[in-house]
Structure formats: structure tokens, C-alpha cells
Amino acid sequence: MAQLGGTPVLILREGSERTRGRDAQSRNILAAKTIAAAVKSTLGPKGMDKMLVDSMGDVVITNDGATILKEMDIEHPAAKMMVEIAKTQDDEVGDGTTSAVVIAGELLKRAEDLLEQEVHPTLIVTGYRLAAEKAHEILKGLTKDVTPDDTETLKKIAMTSMTGKGAEVARELLTNLAVESVRAIAEKGGKIDIDHIKLDKKTGGSKDDTVLIKGMLIDKERVHPGMPKLVENAKIALVNSALEIEKTEVDAKIEITSPDQMKAFLDEEERMLKSMVDKVKDSGANVLFCQKGIDDLPQHYLAKAGILAVRRVKESDMKKLASATGGKILTTLEEIRPEDLGAAGVVEERKIGGEEMIFVENCQNPKSVSILLRGGTEHVVDELERGMNDALRVTACAVEDGKYVAGGGAPEIELALRLRDYAASVGGREQLAIQAFADAVEVIPRALAENAGLDPIDMLVALRSAHEAGNKNAGLDVFKGEPTDMLKAGVIEPLRIKTQAISSATESATMILRIDDVIAATTAKPPAGGMPPGGPGMEGMGEEY
């Protein structure tokens, strides 16, 4: 509301809420700090899990930062920005989501202290940006090189990402599978498309029954019981058109005036369907994957010809099958030729967890592979999938970038040490912000110590002493409760985890700090008459499915 000559002028809709100045900053910082505090206890090998129950009563048990924040029903706009940090970190690297959120929360907490000392937000933002740039430079100086052939180092990187997660119980097996699958799909030049690794999960069995299939796993069954269950030396046709009689684009009517015409019409239909099967058979194919439908009659003919056929295969699975088998996806059966077929050692239908699945195995040099995850319950399998996803992503990052750093809080302690020296050289009030940044990154080793039941101050002092003595790779061994050389202990992470976490955290913290006015519109009122959203009979349909 504004005043014009004593007359109130309404600018915002009635009921809108406006918060300004320090009050707005304090509220935003509090919301962000609350989100950081929610995930802080999950950090590290001794981090705890969270149980999340959604509006439908579904339960998720995890300590994966991105999953926790995604499942939380968050209202506050500043808190939503913290969720975005975790999402970005997850999309870019796959791991380090909790670290990114915790660093952002700590940056805002330290900034709040500076705001109380009358340091202007713009100066804090400038100092944070200078510190982030310097941090990237320092981190590059701490890296070690890794090649795709260095499987031992890659296994250590995958194992570090799984430590403290539900997947840790079977981490030896899972890390071997993660490294093997990433190396299998790596292209020349080190580029890796992680989408070419398919994760399938089935309850039943135990974690040790998890297997890597050098080929593809399709969650479908044969279309006809008369088809072979097992085909060796498979020649695979990949077709994305239906083995059915096509309907015309426009409405058409066929007039039949005699039984002879009816019989001729049906015979011609049968002949057309049989010719489709003959084309598949003549190409030499003994396995057919079809993206669309297969009619009853072609199913019969395919079974008689001894061809194993699967219908309604997802488009994404068809692309992976093409990568795995070396076949081409054909739009029509007219163009099918022997050289277009894919190859696999074995195609077999097996029963897994009470459901039939098609295994396409022993492909030569497959550029798509599958991992079948097994576990006693759905929650176990879901957590295995999250752990496996993290391991695959970090291994891919390490192979692509060829750089890794020590884990266990070692880079953060070194960053803090070097940034404090850098702050002294900057001068002006920005140096206060750089010092605050240095203090903030130490939240990672502090949280590791707290979650392990160790004294955080004693551990920080011990770590700082080790780094000042020249041991740049000294991190916190939470099991022994002392500083340890993390490279020798095999606790290592891809460089990209650290650089992305610092970039995301700094950008979000600076954006929240620059906000000094929050104008919140009124929430939409239900229509008159109290009808629920979505119209009559739609009660309870507002939730996401």
C-alpha cells in the first residue's frame, strides 16, 4: 500500500505478504539453514538414514541428499532453491549432493554473522565469488590423474561413493560391476553416456545375486508359448513397425456382396501377414524385437518358424538393444537385410522374481549393458539402485575428466587453510567474506566428526595441524578417530564432485543473500460452493502420482 495525498493506493492484491530488509534476509537464511540441517546428519560413512512417508503412505528409507530433498514437501521459496542445488549436483555428478547443500547452508550462516556486523550483502557476495574462483584454482593443484585402464583407482572412487549408504553391504561386488560396466560403454576420447547402462531391479534373492549382463535385459516375455525359450547364436531383428494389418488414415468402408469376396478378403489379409513373417525369416533372423504390436496370426507363423519374438518393447530399450547387439532399428520390414541384424551369443527367457524376463547376453563389444539388482525387500533394492547410480556416475566422471582428489574432508581443510592466506592478500571488507567462506567449507570435516560421535573441535585442530605440517591429503578417518592420509587409505573422489558442489553452493548462497524484499501473493481460494479442484468426484486427486 502506498499513500498519495493522504489517500491509500492499493498496489498489491489484498492479503499479499511483503517482507523487507533484514527481516527478509533472516527468513530466507533460516529456511536454507533448516534444509541444510535436515540432511547434515546423513553425511559420511557413519551418517544416519531418513525415513520419508509421502501423502500416499509410501515409505522411502535413504541417506541420499537429493532423494531426501526431492521427497520432502517444501513450501518456502528459499528452501526450494536449496533443493535445486541438490538436483543440479545429482544431474551433473551423481554424488556430493549432501555436501553441496550443507556448504550452501554454512555459507549463509557465516554471511548472517557478517550482516550483523553491518557488512553489506554485495560485499559478501563479491568476497564469496572471489573465494569460489580461488577454491577452484587450489583444488586443481590437489588433483591426481586416473586413466580408464586404472581399474584399482576407479574401484576406490566407486567404493568411496557407496560408503555409508545402504549399498555398502555388497560394495565389493557392486563397485566391480560399476567399473566394469562404465569401461564397457566408454567411447573413444573418454566420453560416457551413462544412459547406456540399464539398471533393472527385482525383489527376491540377496544383494549377492546382483549380476552384470554384457548385453540387454528386457522386462518382457515371449509373445507365444510355442516359441523357443532359448536361442543361441542369435541374429536379432529390431523393428519399430507393427506386424499387423494397417488401418487406413481416413475412414474407409469395404463393401462385400458375396461369401467368395469375404473369403478372398480374409485370404489376402492372411497372405499379407504371412509375407511379413517370411521377410523376417528370409533375412536369417531367429529373434525379433518389435516396438509395436504383433497380431495373433504372425505370432503363430513366427512360432512355427522357431523365431523368438517380443512385442511392445520401449523405445529407450530398442536404442540400447541396437547399441548392445550392433543391429539397426528398421522402420519397415521391406528394408530388412542380413547386414542390418544384431548379434548375441544367447537370447533366453528366464523367470526372475516370479516374472519372465528376456536376457540378451554375450554380445561382442556391447555399447549398452544391463545390471540386474536383487535384494530381499523393495526398500533394499531401491537403496541399492541409488547407491549403484552414484557409483556409476562418479566412475564416469573420473574416466571423463581423468582427475581425482582425496576424500574424508582433506580438500576442504586444505581449501580453508589456503583461503585464509588468500584473504589477507585481498584487503578491504571482502577479506571478511573470504575468511567466512574458508570457515564455511570446514563444515564438511566438522559434520563427518559429529556424525561419527567424535569431538569436532579436536578433530578440526588435529586436521589443521596435519595440513600445516605439509600433509595435503590428511582427512578424517572416522573409524580410528584421527587424521589419516586419504590417498593411502583409498578414500578418493572425482574432482568434479568438489568443484560442482562449491560452484552450486556459492551461486545459490549469493542469490539468496541478494534478496532484500519478498512479495508473496495470496494463495488461490477454492471456487464458491466449495467444489474441490479438478471438478466433481475428483477429491484427493491433487497429489502427484
419-458 pLDDT tens trace: 999 988 887 888 899 999 999 999 999 999 998 888 989 9
Q: Taking 50 as the threshold, does the pLDDT of residue 297 lie above it?
A: yes
Average pLDDT over residues 219-241: 89
pLDDT, tens digit, 9 for 90 and up, residues 485-539: 988 888 899 998 899 999 999 998 898 888 877 777 666 555 555 545 544 444 4
| pLDDT > 90 in the chain, percent | 14
Residues 352-376, mean pLDDT to the nearest whole number: 85
Asked if the model's pLDDT at residue 260 lies above 60, the reply is yes
Q: What pLDDT score was predicted for residue 529? A: 53
- Report pLDDT digits (tens) over 453-469: 889 899 999 999 999 99
Q: Which of 78-82, 140-144, 191-195, 263-267 has the lowest mean pLDDT?
A: 263-267
Q: C-alpha 224: how far from its chain's center? A: 37
User: Does pLDDT of 262 surpass 80?
Assistant: no
Report the distance separating Cα 133 and Cα 437, nearest Å: 12
Catalytic residues: 64, 97-98, 390
Report how far residue 379's alpha carbon sits from residue 376's, in angstroms, rounded to the nearest whole number.
9
Cβ atoms 83, 410 nearer than 8 A: no
Maximum average pLDDT range among 67-71, 183-187, 470-474: 470-474
pLDDT value at residue 412: 92
With vertex at residue 15, the alpha carbon angle to CA 12 and CA 16, rounded to the nearest 5 degrees, is 50
Query: What is the full DSSP assignment across 441-494?
Result: HTHHHHHHHHHTT--HHHHHHHHHHHHHTT-TTEEEETTTTEEEEHHHHT-EEE
Question: Given the DSSP bridges, would you call strands 342-352 and 355-361 parallel, antiparallel or unpaired?
Answer: antiparallel
Domains (range + CATH), the chain: 20-143+406-520 (1.10.560.10), 147-214+367-401 (3.30.260.10), 218-365 (3.50.7.10)
User: What's the pLDDT at 542?
Assistant: 41
User: pLDDT confidence of 14, banded at 50, 70, 90?
Assistant: low
Instruction: Give residue 540's pLDDT band: very low, low, confident or very high (50, 70, 90).
Output: very low
Whether residue 69 has pLDDT greater than 70: yes
Contact between 413 and 472 (Cβ < 8 Å): no
Give me the mean pLDDT over the 367-387 stretch: 85
List the 369-375 sheet strands across, edge first. Answer: 197-203, 369-375, 211-213
Calculate mean pLDDT across residues 138-158. 88
> Cα torsion for 501, 503, 508, 513, to the nearest 10°?
120
Report field, pTM of the whole predicted structure over 0.75: yes
Could you read off the pLDDT of 48-63 as tens digits, one per residue? 888 888 778 788 887 7
Relative orientation angle of helices 443-451 and 456-468, to the nearest 10 degrees: 130
What is the chain's mean pLDDT, rounded?
83
How confident is residue 544, by pLDDT bands cut at 50, 70 and 90? Answer: very low
Whole-number Cα distances in Å, 6 to 12, 13, 298, 442? 18, 20, 85, 54
